[in-house]
Amino acid sequence: MRKSWIRFGLIILITAVFLFFFFRSVDWREVYRYLRQVNISIFILTVFLAPLHLITRSWRWRYLLDQEKKDVKFVNMFKANAVGFAFNYFLPGRVGEVIKPLYLARKEKIRTGFALGTVLVERIFDMFTMCFLLAVFLLARPLFSSKLYAGAKDYSDLYLWGIVGAAFASSLLIFCLCLYFFRAKTLRFISFLLRPFSQKIRQKVLTGFEEFIEGLKFFRSLKNLMMYIVFSFIVWLGIIFYYWVSLHAFGVSVAFFLLIPYVFLTGVGASIPSPGMVGGYHYFSKLGMTTFLGVDPNLAVGVTILVHAVQLVVTCCLGYAILWKEGLTIFQLKKLGEAGAK
């Protein structure tokens, strides 16, 4: 209990620090003036585009789940993504990343450990895809230098962020490959570590790890691997398109390609495990807009707040409508997620 309160306190502290820097020196009259100038027609379009990533992520997920079950229903994958992201908006610690696979495992009678393994693969490829897009942007930067707003130091810092992200994703990928291709040795090592525990606990943990490792076996299928890479780009190009449309709603006309650094930074902010991505997402969104898109700080604050609100409201309405229709409560799935995370 004490550890939970300490963790919660740290999350609140980190969130407060990021919000302080996000709101610092904001002129709310200017923010209000910018918000009044929003193009309503385009803004309404962003509301309908907000669930786009849930659709593309669901299509992509199929190539991981095919190794376990060939006929997983698309609607159930979409529901799992919607519920998972809704919980990420509602609770700290990104518990939705655990609830999402457990929800699908329950609906489709898939092994829970297998489903959890597929989500780890998803996150690895998310990081790789955005790092690759960022690398392409940085390499092509001299071709459109006249349209850039940031200075050499800003791009140097961005390059460093990209290196850190690629290194972290590579470490996770190597870890996953070692788990899968050295499966027997991994399970023997885990069994050795579990020797102080009862036979029942050892068996339960080992079964969970076996299922988790099975969720990584799509690496043996070159076809599925290539299709998954293609759909990873579709997912992130769709996310960039959503932000491109959102910025146009506020009169910010920017080339699609130039949004890559901004979306990369919002991804960094969203990875911070604060409730609803509040704080980290806001700070990095403002940083990305002011530094790499040349947007006025007050406009950046207004756009960030409104775009984040659209994502939160649309996703939560979808997720909680699904739970209501199925007779499930937030607390039931929260307990499910906490149990799966142990």
Q: Return d(Cα 89, Cα 186) in angstroms, integer.
A: 35
Res 168: pLDDT: 79
Q: Which of 65-69, 107-111, 186-190, 243-247 has the highest mean pLDDT?
A: 243-247
Q: Give me 277's structure tokens.
A: 């991505």
Rounded average pLDDT over 128-137: 87
In the predicted structure, residue 56 carries a pLDDT above the cut 90: yes
Neighbours of 42 (CB within 10 A): 15
Q: Is residue 267 within 8 Å of 161, Cβ to Cβ?
A: no
Q: How confident is the model at residue 341 (pLDDT cuts 50, 70, 90)?
A: very low
Task: Kindly report the average pLDDT of the chain as a whole number.
Answer: 84
Q: Mean pLDDT highest for which of 57-61, 122-126, 266-270, 332-336?
A: 57-61
Q: Mean of the pLDDT values across residues 146-175?
A: 78
Tell me what the mean pLDDT of segment 90-114 comes to: 83
Residue 127: CA count within 13 A, CB half-sphere: 22
At which residue do the structure tokens 């902010």 appear? 269
**Per-residue pLDDT at 154:** 79
Q: Does 337 have pLDDT greater than 70?
A: no
Determine the pLDDT at residue 2. Answer: 61
Give 43's pLDDT tier (boundaries 50, 70, 90): very high
Instruction: Supply the pLDDT for residue 224.
Output: 78
Is the pLDDT at 140 greater than 70? The verdict is: yes
Give the mean model confidence (pLDDT) for residues 53-77: 90
What residue segments make up the domains of the chain, in order of their start? Answer: 27-341
If DSSP states are collapsed to H, E and C, what string results for the chain? CHHHHHHHHHHHHHHHHHHHHHHCCCCHHHHHHHHHCCCHHHHHHHHHHCCHHHHHHHHHHHHHHCCCCCCCCHHHHHHHHHHHHHHHHHCHHHCHHHHHHHHHHHHHCCCHHHHHHHHHHHHHHHHHHHHHHHHHHHHHHHHHHHHCCCCHHHHHHHHHHHHHHHHHHHHHHHHHHHHHHCHHHHHHHHHHHCCCCCHHHHHHHHHHHHHHHHCCHHHHCHHHHHHHHHHHHHHHHHHHHHHHHHHHHCCCCCCHHHHHHHHHHHHHHHCCCCHHHCCHHHHHHHHHHHHHCCCCHHHHHHHHHHHHHHHHHHHHHHHHHHHHHCCCCHHHHHHHHHHHHC
| Higher-confidence position of 180 and 250 | 250
Share of the chain above pLDDT 70, in %: 92
Between residues 228 and 189, which one has the greater pLDDT? Answer: 228
Which residue has better confidence, 68 or 23?
23
Average pLDDT over residues 188-217: 74
Give per-residue pLDDT as tens, 1-17.
Answer: 566 677 777 878 888 88
Poorest-pLDDT segment among 43-47, 183-187, 239-243: 183-187
Q: What is the pLDDT of residue 209?
A: 72
Q: State the pLDDT at residue 125.
A: 87
For 251-271, how does the pLDDT look when each residue is reduced to its tens digit (9 = 90+)? 988 889 889 999 999 998 888
In the chain, the percentage of residues whose pLDDT exceeds 90 is 33
